[in-house]
């Protein structure tokens, strides 16, 4: 090795060492740094964190997101950025042009990646003319000036796609799968993959070198794999702890890269300047990093293989960031095990979700009396469930003995934190917990206390809830028709809104597979929409993205 080579390697080692020292004492996420090479972090709820001098162009935070944000990338000018949600809804800020989205389409698989078309002129003042979205099955959606060069949408993949990166010319792109399999399209060269290796952790992201003749892959444990002319400059393997890496992004020179973890921790290598992190300041899982003026990196959020505990953890984290109380309970009906967050045991008023219990008791009594429902009972049931008609609910509640309805469901299901209202006529003041309500819905799914035919009849009514009342769980479900019933009202005495959501949804060949309950109580000034957003945000994180 020549003396010059040794000198260059020594300089590189020193750069990596200085970077590592910078990571040990990061700047607070609330104070953007002043160093060059700033970057943004994005979290699943749409919040954007500005670090290293990155400017503020806004965010979709506060908008009603049907699905979590999954990716972010900068314009080439650094004067704007795009964010994309799991349903393909695109949000454009600054000089980033909106060129279209898949937000109104029914997707076979959720969106997992976003890449912008590089400026045709090569000038950093041109914000680009379009972008690509990539779905988990490798389907590619091209908008604006983005060309379509192929996809894996019709290919049977061993593992889902988790990342997308464009070539510097915009005439090709790469996709990477969870096992590290790389798929190259257009002029993008195939330079190797980890598809044949046994990985300690799955691949979560991909970044290309500025030449287009190399790329890096990053695994959930922070391990980095370099191919082509991409140099290996270090990794965060063993350093991310319980917060997995979710993305990698490269510097403009190709001599450095950043890794970001789900908690907002940032790891800088090579010539990538450390501009701070969002550790301890995030309101939701961080999903990506976008260096100013450079392609962003994202991935690792909401993948199909995430276990129920993983999904519940994401939902619980999101719920913890909401104002007030947000109880979450989820059941996989194949096991019957109820999982919940700490607030899932908080006793709250049911509002209209108790109408499910009224419906169950109505069918049970008819069975006990060896008869079907009368025309009036059937009409009241339909109006009570589909349109949440309170007069119909009051008639059925009274006819069934009022508080006796709750005594019956306690006996049938064994719930102990569900109680009738102090005023026997006020069925909406029945109290329960998210966990208890999940147990009750599990009993319904397994036809305990009601016959299978009556279960199916009640679920049919819940699947025909009018469109204006299908917010919440239904927002998170795209490939089946969930049975839902929500409850809501402003409690003037306590100055709080109470918005509760329930849902039962199929999962592929498994009917009525997932049961979810969200119960909320929060300051009345936030309005009903805040509770609806909490319900849909929790459901989108707790339920598999492919249902």
Residues 166 and 264 in one domain: yes
| Tens digit of each residue's pLDDT (9 = 90 or more) over 472-483 | 999 888 788 999
Predicted pLDDT of residue 478: 79
Q: pLDDT, tens digit, for every residue of 494-517?
A: 899 999 999 999 998 899 999 999
Please, what is the average pLDDT of the chain? 89
Phi, psi of 450 (to 5 degrees): -135, 160
| Whether 282 and 347 share a structural domain | no
| 223 lies in the same domain as 291 | yes
Q: Looking at the structure, do residues 194 and 335 belong to the same domain, yes or no?
A: no
**139 belongs to a structural domain:** yes
> What is the mean pLDDT of the segment spanning 387-399?
98
- Same domain for 157 and 240, yes or no, is yes
pLDDT at site 222: 94
Residue 398 pLDDT grade (very low, low, confident, very high; cuts 50, 70, 90): very high
Using a 10 angstrom Cβ sphere, with 0-12 exposed, 13-18 middle and 19 or more buried, the burial of residue 429 is middle
Cβ neighbours of residue 269 closer than 8 Å, sequence gap 6 or more: 16, 19, 224, 233, 234, 235, 256, 257, 258, 259
Cα distance from N-terminal residue to C-terminal residue, the chain:
57
- Residue keyed to tokens 């890496």: 245
Same domain, 203 and 318: no
Helix (H) or strand (E) holding 354, with range, is: none
140 with 31, same domain: the answer is: yes
Q: Is the pLDDT of residue 377 over 60?
A: yes
The DSSP bridge pattern shows strands 90-94 and 80-85 to be antiparallel
Domain boundary, last residue among 271, 298, 325: 298
Separation of alpha carbons 541 and 49, rounded Å? 21
Residue at 338 is within a domain: yes
Q: What is the CATH number of the domain that holds 85?
A: 2.130.10.10
Q: How many domains does the chain divide into?
A: 2
pLDDT value of residue 120 = 62
94 Ramachandran zone, left/alpha/beta (phi>0; psi -120 to 50): left
Paired with 50 in beta bridges are 40
Q: What is the pLDDT of residue 314?
A: 86
- Domain end (from 272, 298, 324): 298
535 lies in the same domain as 514: yes
Q: Do residues 167 and 289 both lie within one domain?
A: yes
pLDDT tens for each residue of 272-321: 999 999 998 988 889 999 999 999 999 755 444 567 888 898 899 899 99
In a domain, 182, yes or no: yes
Please report the pLDDT score of residue 306 as a whole number.
62
Residue 268, strand partner residues: 258
Residue 25 confidence (pLDDT) above 50: no
- Residues 341 and 211 placed together within one structural domain of the fold: no
**Predicted confidence (pLDDT) at residue 108 exceeds the cutoff of 90:** no
pTM of the model: 0.75
Residue 323 and residue 246 share a domain:
no
Domain with 108, as residue range(s), is 3-298
The pair phi, psi for residue 365, each rounded to 5°, is -65, -40
Among 298, 316, 333, the domain boundary falls at 298
Question: Does a structural domain hold residue 547?
Answer: no
Q: Are residues 288 and 416 in the same domain?
A: no
């Amino acid at each position: 090795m020549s003396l010059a080579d040794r000198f260059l390697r020594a300089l590189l080692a020193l750069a990596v060492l200085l970077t590592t020292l910078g990571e040990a004492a990061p700047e607070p996420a609330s104070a953007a740094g002043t160093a060059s090479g700033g970057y943004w972090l994005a979290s699943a709820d749409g919040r954007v964190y500005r670090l290293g001098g990155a400017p503020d162009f806004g965010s979709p935070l506060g908008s009603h997101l049907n699905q979590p944000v999954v990716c972010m990338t900068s314009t080439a000018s650094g004067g704007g950025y795009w964010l994309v949600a799991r349903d393909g809804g695109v949000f454009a800020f600054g000089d980033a042009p909106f060129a279209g989205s898949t937000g109104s389409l029914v997707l076979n698989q959720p969106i997992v990646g976003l890449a912008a078309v590089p400026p045709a002129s090569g000038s950093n003042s041109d914000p680009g003319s379009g972008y690509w979205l990539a779905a988990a099955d490798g389907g590619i959606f091209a908008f604006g000036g983005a060309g379509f060069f192929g996809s894996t949408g019709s290919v049977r993949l061993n593992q889902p796609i988790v990342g997308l990166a464009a070539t510097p010319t915009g005439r090709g792109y790469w996709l990477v799968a969870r096992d590290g399999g790389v798929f190259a399209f257009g002029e993008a060269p195939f330079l190797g993959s980890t598809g044949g290796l046994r990985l300690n952790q799955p691949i979560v992201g991909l970044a290309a070198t500025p030449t287009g003749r190399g790329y890096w892959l990053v695994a959930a444990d922070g391990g980095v794999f370099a191919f082509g002319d991409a140099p290996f400059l270090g990794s965060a393997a063993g350093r991310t702890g319980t917060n997995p890496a979710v993305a990698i992004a490269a510097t403009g020179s190709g001599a450095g890269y950043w890794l970001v973890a789900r908690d907002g921790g940032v790891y800088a290598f090579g010539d990538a300047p450390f501009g701070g992190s969002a550790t301890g300041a995030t309101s939701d899982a961080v999903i990506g990093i976008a260096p100013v003026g450079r392609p962003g990196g994202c991935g690792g959020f909401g993948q199909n293989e995430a276990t129920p505990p993983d999904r519940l953890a994401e939902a619980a984290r999101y719920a913890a960031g909401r104002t007030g109380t947000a109880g979450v309970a989820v059941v996989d009906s194949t096991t019957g095990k109820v999982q919940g967050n700490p607030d899932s045991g908080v006793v709250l008023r049911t509002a209209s979700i108790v109408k499910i219990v009224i419906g169950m008791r109505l069918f049970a009594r008819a069975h006990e009396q060896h008869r079907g429902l009368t025309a009036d009972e059937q009409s009241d049931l339909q109006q009570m469930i589909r349109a949440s008609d309170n007069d119909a609910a009051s008639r059925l509640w009274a006819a069934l003995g009022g508080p006796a309805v709750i005594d019956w469901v306690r006996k049938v299901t064994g719930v102990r934190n569900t109680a009738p209202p102090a005023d026997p006529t006020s069925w909406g003041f029945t109290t329960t917990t998210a966990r208890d309500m999940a147990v009750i819905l599990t009993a319904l799914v397994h036809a305990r206390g009601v016959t299978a035919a009556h279960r199916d009849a009640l679920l049919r009514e819940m699947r025909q809830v009018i469109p204006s009342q299908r917010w919440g769980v239904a927002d998170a479900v795209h490939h089946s028709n969930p049975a839902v019933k929500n409850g809501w009202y402003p409690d003037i005495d306590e100055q709080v809104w109470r918005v509760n959501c329930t849902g039962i949804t199929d999962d592929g060949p498994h009917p009525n597979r997932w049961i979810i309950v969200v119960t909320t109580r929060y300051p009345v000034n936030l309005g009903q929409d805040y509770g609806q957003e909490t319900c849909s945000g929790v459901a989108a994180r707790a339920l598999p993205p492919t249902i």
